[in-house]
Amino acid sequence: MDSHRLTVYGASWCHDTQNTRARLDDLKVPYEYHDVDVSEDAKRRVEEANHGGQTIPVLDFPDGHVLIEPDDQELEAALQAHGAQS
């Protein structure tokens, strides 16, 4: 993970992942994306963040904050609180 960039872990078939990525794109927030169906490391990170579960998307912020399956309000609040959005 780039320690200066938001990282999103999800899957192309997941509606919540698609919504989160679209919102980040709309807000012009740079992020790195890892698909759990393509990367075993991404799948492990999701399970680690979920204490064994597989809820996606998982967002890793540069400051160490983790957000799981946020709605738009939660996402925008976290972006502001954790310095990922101007």
CATH number at residue 23: 3.40.30.10
Contacts of 72 (CB under 8 A, 6+ apart): 19, 23
In a domain, 69, yes or no: yes
The pTM is what?
0.91
Taking only the tens of pLDDT, the chain with its 86 residues reads 455 789 999 999 999 999 999 999 999 999 999 999 999 999 999 999 999 999 999 999 999 999 999 999 999 999 999 866 64
Structural domain harbouring 69: 6-81
In a domain, 32, yes or no: yes
In a domain, 49, yes or no: yes
> What whole-number distance in Å separates Cα of residue 16 and Cα of residue 85?
20
How many independent structural domains does the chain possess?
1
In a domain, 76, yes or no: yes
Contact yes or no for 55/30 (Cβ under 8 A) = no
